């Protein structure tokens, strides 16, 4: 019998899912556990579909972790209603999407981590099975890269390349990370003077750029992983470009980063002109 929804007496945070009842999934030979993490805020209308996306995968060894940032639109009610379908969820205020993703990583038990937005969808019900089932992935490989389809049908092919100096060339819905990459890393923390304490839009660039500079081993999988929704990074906000600049300064230093900063500012101006012209 699955546990009913409860509220902690200590902190009054709504939580739920099978993990709370002691049911912990594990990796098995030829079937690594995949932790799909969904960070959500006021996305009641999309979340039900995201839960169905994970439940509909033909790959069996997957856990779904949902971190809600204290939504006020009824998202928590969707989570309660789907408590038996989700491995772990919590609803509480946070400091933004990357804070929520960090909480998801900390709750995960999988060998691989994947982030699925509430308005994103796997490309097909067989996506995870084609990538992971009975596939030999060497232990030294820490990242798996695939493609992502935009709503207009364009494909984004993630890649580790020198172009990472200029911008993030890895789509968050097109990458699987081995869990041990997060043992000494959490999203969003900035220690640079003049930068925000936490990143709110470009935190994924922070991880990807760091991994690129370290020369992490990766493999391209010949698969379209997801059909992406709106997403923060697609909105062209100035804050995202400024965070990108801060991240480069963190890892390259001021003088080396300045050369690439100019291109970031030009990209932002181009986007502004493009929007104005529409």
- Check pLDDT > 50 for residue 6: no
Gyration radius of the chain's alpha carbons: 19
Q: Break the chain into its structural domains and give their ranges.
A: 1-118, 136-272
Q: Please write the tens of the pLDDT for every residue from 93-150.
A: 998 899 999 999 999 999 999 999 999 999 999 999 999 998 899 999 999 999 999 9
d(CA 215, CA 211): 6
Torsion of CA 254, 259, 265, 269, to 10 degrees: 170
Domain spanning 1-118: CATH superfamily: Spore Coat Polysaccharide Biosynthesis Protein SpsA; Chain A (3.90.550.10)
Tens of pLDDT, residue by residue over 20-34, are: 777 778 888 889 999
Q: Which residues pair with residue 139 across a beta bridge?
A: none
Dihedral (CA of 37, 40, 46, 51) sign: positive
Q: Is the pLDDT of residue 261 over 70?
A: yes
What would the pLDDT profile of 157-201 be if each residue is shown by its tens digit?
Answer: 999 999 999 999 999 999 999 999 999 888 876 655 556 567 888
CB-based burial, 231-256: b 16+ in 10 Å, e otherwise: bbbeeebeebbbbbbbbbbbebeeee
Q: How confident is the model at residue 1 (pLDDT cuts 50, 70, 90)?
A: very low
Backbone angles phi, psi at 251, to 5 degrees: -100, -20
Q: Percent of the chain, pLDDT > 90?
A: 69
pTM: 0.88
Residue identified by tokens 């980063």 is: 257
């Amino acid at each position: 019998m699955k546990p009913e929804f409860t509220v902690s007496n200590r902190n009054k945070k709504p939580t739920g899912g099978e993990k709370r009842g002691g049911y912990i999934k594990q990796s098995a030979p030829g079937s690594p556990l995949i932790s799909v993490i969904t960070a959500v805020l006021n996305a009641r209308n999309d979340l039900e579909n995201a839960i169905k996306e994970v439940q509909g995968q033909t790959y069996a060894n997957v856990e779904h972790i949902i971190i809600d940032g204290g939504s006020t639109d009824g998202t928590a009610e969707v989570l309660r209603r789907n408590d038996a379908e989700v491995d772990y969820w919590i609803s509480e205020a946070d400091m933004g999407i990357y804070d929520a993703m960090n909480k998801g990583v900390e709750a995960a038990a999988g060998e691989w981590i994947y982030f699925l937005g509430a308005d994103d969808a796997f490309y097909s019900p067989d996506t995870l099975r084609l990538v992971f089932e009975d596939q030999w992935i060497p232990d030294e490989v820490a990242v798996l890269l695939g493609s992502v389809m935009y709503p207009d049908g364009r494909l984004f092919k993630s890649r580790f390349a020198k172009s990472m100096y200029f911008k993030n060339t890895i789509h968050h819905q097109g990458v699987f990370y081995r869990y041990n990459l997060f043992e000494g890393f959490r999203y969003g923390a900035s220690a640079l003077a003049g930068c925000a304490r936490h990143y709110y839009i470009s935190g994924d660039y922070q991880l990807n750029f760091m991994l690129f500079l370290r020369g992490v081993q990766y493999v391209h999988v010949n698969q379209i992983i997801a059909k992406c929704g709106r997403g923060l990074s697609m909105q062209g906000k100035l804050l995202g470009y400024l965070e990108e600049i801060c991240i480069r300064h963190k890892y390259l230093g001021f003088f080396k980063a300045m050369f690439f900063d100019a291109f970031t500012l030009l990209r932002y101006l181009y986007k502004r002109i493009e929007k104005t012209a529409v």
